[in-house]
Amino acid sequence: MAVLRAVGAGPWRIVLLLVVESGFLSMGGAITGVLLVYVLSFLSQPIVERHFGIFIPIQPLSTTAYMYVLAVIVAGLLIGCVPALRAYRNSLADGLAMRL
């Protein structure tokens, strides 16, 4: 962050970078999680039906599930504000000073 500040990035730009990064990470995690659920359900459905006689239907996401995915993404954005605010408060000299 100190290098970005040294080349002229303002504190709000760094905050935006950190929050957007956390948003992308949480969105990627949510999408990957949903895809994994569907892939594993699709792969395990015939095995479960053959061994236990239970048919597990694969259905599209419900409105409630969409709300949960959205809540995960919003939580990721909010959690990303914590390091962003800390980077905002640190001055350029704090990041470039040598620590022993």
Total tally of structural domains belonging to the chain: 1
The pLDDT assigned to 29 comes to: 96
Q: Which of 6-20, 32-46, 68-82 has the lowest mean pLDDT?
A: 6-20
Asked whether the predicted pLDDT for residue 91 surpasses 80, the reply is no
pLDDT value at position 87? 81
| Whole-number CA gyration radius for the chain | 21
Contacts of 21 (CB under 8 A, 6+ apart): 80
Mean pLDDT of 8-36: 91
Domain that holds residue 86: 2-96
